[in-house]
Amino acid sequence: MYKIVKLKDTVRVPPERFEEPTEDVVLDILRKDYEGLTDKDLGVILSITEVEDIRVGKVIMGDGASHHEAIFKALVYKPELHEVILGEVVEIVDFGAFVRLGPMDGLAHVSQVTDDYISYDREKGVLIGKETNRRLKEGDRLRARIVSVSVRRGDRGKIGLTMRQPGLGKLKWIKEDRKEESGE
């Protein structure tokens, strides 16, 4: 789930940047320090969108820089358990499909792709259902549910996905199933 969150931190402005507008310097430093970080509670910090408040700076003895308390907003992405997501298959491997969920990837294990027995065609890079002959390949768009989330500071974490529930799966399969249910 994407969210805008409000954060507070102390920003060190080096003396060589004193001539620049403080707001611009603080925003630049915050972007360099925060964007791309992964936090267990926040998720992935995608962008620092604005600086709301910058307090008067303090100079600490032995350091010529000024230290400013800043309140700022950040755009974050945190995968939520049971969230239904749209994604794109970015890689097929013998044990499942890696799915891009925006800034993160999740894994739909072969046991979670369909109710059918799944085999892996290494040459074509495709997962194939034994009875339905449904195929999942790189570039396919799908709808899945997040069933496990393990996010640690510093890495993108692990996200488990399932497509074995009604209304989930490759978008083409969902459309076919709806036609079948309506009798078309």
- Whether 18 contacts 57, CB under 8 Å: no
Residue 4 has pLDDT above 80, yes or no: yes
Residue 150 has pLDDT above 90, yes or no: no
Q: How far apart are CA 142 and CA 45, in angstroms?
A: 25
- Whether 72 contacts 30, CB under 8 Å: yes
Residue 154 has pLDDT above 60, yes or no: no
Note the pLDDT of residue 48. 97
Type of residue found at 129: G
For residue 79, give both structure tokens: 């995968």
Note the pLDDT of residue 182. 76
Tell me: the pLDDT tens digits for 79-90? 999 999 999 999
- Whether 8 contacts 74, CB under 8 Å: no
pTM summary value: 0.80
Note the pLDDT of residue 85. 95
| Residues contacting residue 129 through CB under 8 Å, at least 6 positions apart | 113, 114, 116, 117, 118, 135
Going through 40-95 in order, the beta strands assigned E by DSSP cover 43-54, 58-59, 66-77, 84-93
- Report the DSSP beta bridge partners of residue 58: 67
What DSSP string runs through 95-140?
TEEEEE-SSSEEEEEGGGT-SS-EEEETTTTEEEETTT--EEETT-
Domains and CATH numbers, the chain: 2-77 (3.30.1490.120), 84-179 (2.40.50.140)
- Whether 103 contacts 44, CB under 8 Å: yes
Residue 151 has pLDDT above 80, yes or no: no
Note the pLDDT of residue 100. 95
Rounded average pLDDT over 27-32:
97
Note the pLDDT of residue 41. 86
Question: In whole angstroms, how far apart are CA 49 and each of 29, 46, 101, 168?
Answer: 13, 9, 21, 33
